[in-house]
Structure formats: C-alpha cells, structure tokens
Amino acid sequence: MSQEPSSAIALHDLCFSYPDNPDVLRDLNLVIPPGQRVGLIGPNGAGKTTLFMSICGILKPTSGRVLVQGEPVTSGSFNPQVALVFQKSDDQLFCPSVWEDVAFGPENMGLSGEEVNQRVREALNTVGAMDLAQRPVHHLSEGEKRIVSIAGALAMQPRVLIYDEPSAGLDIRARRRLITLLKQGDQTLLIASHDLELVLEVCERVVLMDQGRIVADGPALEIMADEDLMTAHGQEKPHSLIPHCLPHKH
C-alpha cells in the first residue's frame, strides 16, 4: 500500500478573485493532516465554497498553491483522490437515474463494469439509499438528492471528502445518519456548515473564516466555546456548550 503523504490538504498563500469580485480568498495558509476532520465555519459570503472549488481544481487560484495528498492541484482536471459534495445537489446530479449518477465517478476512473457496480451498491448501502437506485433524480426530494450526492462522492472512495453544507434540508433521522457516517471511516474530511452542533459532534478541529481570511484555527471545542470570537464573526456559541438552566417546576 502506498504511504499517506504528510498532509491531505495544504494551502500556501492562496488568493482568489472572481473577475468582478476581488480578494474573495486572501492569503490562506492551512495544513490538514491525513484523517483529520475539520469544520469550516464562517458567515455567508466568507469564501467557504470558493475555497472548496479551489481545492477541487474547479477554480484556478489567482496566486498561491493548493496541494491535495501532497500533489499540486491542476485546475480543470479530474482528481478521484478528492470529492466535493456540493451545497446545491442540482449542481452535482445530472444523470437520468440515481444508479447512473452514483456510477458516474467510478466510471470516469476507468474501473470495470463489475467494480463500478460493486462501488455503487456499497455507496448506496452506506447512505441507506438502495431503495432509490432506480428512481429518476429529478423526482427526488431535496433531502434524498443530498443523500444521493453523498453516495456519488463515496463511490469514488476518495482519500479527501469535502462537504458543503451537508445537513441542509435533511430531516432529523437523515441528519443523524449523516453524522454517524461522517464519524466513521478514516478519510480526511473538510466540512463547511452553519449547523454548528454537527461540526462540534464530528470535527476535532475548526477553521473560522470571515471576509476571505482565516481568522481562527484550533480545537473545535476551544474555538466554538469562545463566545467573543464567535460573535465577532457572526456566529453563535452552540447551545450544547451553554450550561443549561432547567425550567423550575412549580
């Protein structure tokens, strides 16, 4: 088996500007070791999705470098080592049936038909969506689409998984299943979420972004319990970290 590199994701002085929107990412430096689960939090427009698209090679950095599993990312090329679960499932799902959509990644990796089928079965079983296999994607509910998107990412068996708002639109049971799924496995996870309780449960480390900069990076409990820091960047300390005042019985 090949050795794991010393970092799963490494950003060196990463900057990104959209043609009509400069400095969306400003000098980001970050090293995530293999197997770490990292939560990326920050207000709307902080640059989380832009960062994800830079890590996956969908966007080309204006300057700086991105490495995934020790290799420089080449924008525009397919890298099965890293999979992104998009914030909007409709940006990710485009095949007629669920089965075909989940098979798309493995098929592009040049696997045999039997290997592809095996991976699709495994991924759909892992997310508990085997019963959706033959359904047309455009008939699925938002929550079902998200679950299928996750299966599509898992089917590539990437070493690095990036989730953009994975619990949005999920009901209580599906969200709980997602949390269990995120906590198992040894892949590196980078999860952007406004669901701070999910981040707290799943991630050992938290990176807080605001206005294109990393403003804090450290143990999840430490960062998220810092009320002044959280408030200063439009966040709230998760309720589970606030000592509860139980209502008095009269």
Ligand X SMILES: Nc1ncnc2c1ncn2[C@@H]1O[C@H](COP(=O)(O)OP(=O)(O)OP(=O)(O)O)[C@@H](O)[C@H]1O
**What is the binding site for ligand X (CB under 6 A)?**
18, 20-21, 24, 42, 44-50
Nearer residue to ligand X within complex by CB, 126 or 211: 211
Residue 57 and residue 177: Cα distance in Å, rounded?
29
Percent helix / strand / coil, the chain, rounded to 5 = 35, 25, 40
Which contacts qualify for 72-78: CB closer than 8 Å, 24 or more apart? Answer: 78/108
Nearer residue to ligand X within complex by CB, 18 or 94: 18
Task: Judge contact between 57 and 83, C-beta under 8 A.
Answer: no
- Min separation Cβ 66 and ligand X, Å: 15
- Min separation Cβ 209 and ligand X, Å: 7
Q: Residue 244 is inside which H or E element, if any? A: none
Q: Strand order in 21-32's β-sheet? A: 21-32, 9-18, 63-68, 71-72
- Min separation Cβ 212 and ligand X, Å: 7
Greatest CA separation found in the chain? 68
Nearer residue to ligand X within complex by CB, 20 or 186: 20
Nearer residue to ligand X within complex by CB, 86 or 99: 86
- Report the alpha-carbon angle 222-226-231, nearest 5: 140
Nearer residue to ligand X within complex by CB, 26 or 119: 26
- Min separation Cβ 194 and ligand X, Å: 7
- Min separation Cβ 192 and ligand X, Å: 6
- Report the alpha-carbon angle 58-64-67, nearest 5: 60
